[in-house]
Amino acid sequence: MKLWTRYRWLIFIAGGVILLDQVTKALIRQNLALYETWVPWPWLAPYARIVHWYNTGVAFGLLQERGQFFAILAVVVALAILYYYPRIPAQETWLRLALSLQLGGAIGNLIDRLTIGHVTDFISVGTFPVFNVADASITIGTALLILSVWLQERREQAARKATPSHTSEESLSAPTTDRQ
């Protein structure tokens, strides 16, 4: 029961990302031929569209043909998150959410790499590289991680400023002697 309590939000959030990622990718693979584009409304075409694409690199088409390396990296990242997550204080909500999103995205893309040899991408916005739910989850998780670290540093700085240093307290309260 204690294990469930420590990991419950990680499992729900990462599991939700994995499920959404895998369902959307399966729908794309079943309904669009490779490189085929679908735009529900013609006016939307210059801004956003669905396109069946694949990627052997990392998010947004970077570092192509290194799929095995990124599969290993995804396993290492997932294990690190599983190890570190229960050590995060419960009040660190943003950090917990960030790691959950990153875990879900890493596993979502890992499933593709292990089962079909590449990652299915399908979201195309403007001229931005094509991506998927897992990529978006990893990116949002990384942004939240940076935000969480920044907020924690700000809290620590505020706490240090609120706590006077001992040397300044001692010098203020030390008795003075008059030398004449």
Tens digits of residue pLDDT in 50-89: 999 988 776 555 566 666 778 898 999 999 999 999 999 9
**178, part of any domain:** no
Segment 20-32 mean pLDDT? 98
pLDDT of 119 over the 70 cut: yes
| CA nearest neighbour of 133 among 17, 47, 36 | 17
Tell me which residue has tokens 């004449």.
180
**179, part of any domain:** no
Catalytic residue, candidates 21, 112, 121, 178: 121
Q: Rounded to the nearest 5°, which phi and psi values hold at 50? A: -105, 130
135 a catalytic residue: yes
Q: What is the end-to-end Cα distance of the chain in Å, rounded?
A: 74
Largest CA distance in the chain: 97
Amino acid in the structure at residue 33: A
pLDDT at 39: 93
pLDDT of 95 over the 90 cut: yes
**7, part of any domain:** yes
User: Nearest-5° angle of CA 20, CA 123, CA 138?
Assistant: 60
Q: Which domain holds residue 111?
A: 2-154
The model's confidence at residue 98, banded by pLDDT at 50, 70 and 90, is very high
Mean pLDDT score of the chain, rounded to an integer? 87
Is residue 177 helix, strand or coil? coil
Tell me which residue has tokens 């809290």.
155
Segment 93-113 mean pLDDT? 96
Catalytic residue, candidates 21, 112, 135, 178: 135
Provide the number of structural domains found in the chain: 1
Amino acid in the structure at residue 5: T
Q: Where are the beta strands (DSSP E) in 32-143?
A: 37-38, 48-55, 119-125
**107, part of any domain:** yes
pLDDT at 5: 80
Quick count: other Cβ atoms within 10 Å of Cβ 77? 19
**159, part of any domain:** no
Quick count: other Cβ atoms within 10 Å of Cβ 27? 13
**94, part of any domain:** yes
pLDDT of 25 over the 80 cut: yes
178 a catalytic residue: no
**130, part of any domain:** yes
- Mutual orientation of helices 133-162 and 93-116 as an angle, nearest 10°? 160
**73, part of any domain:** yes
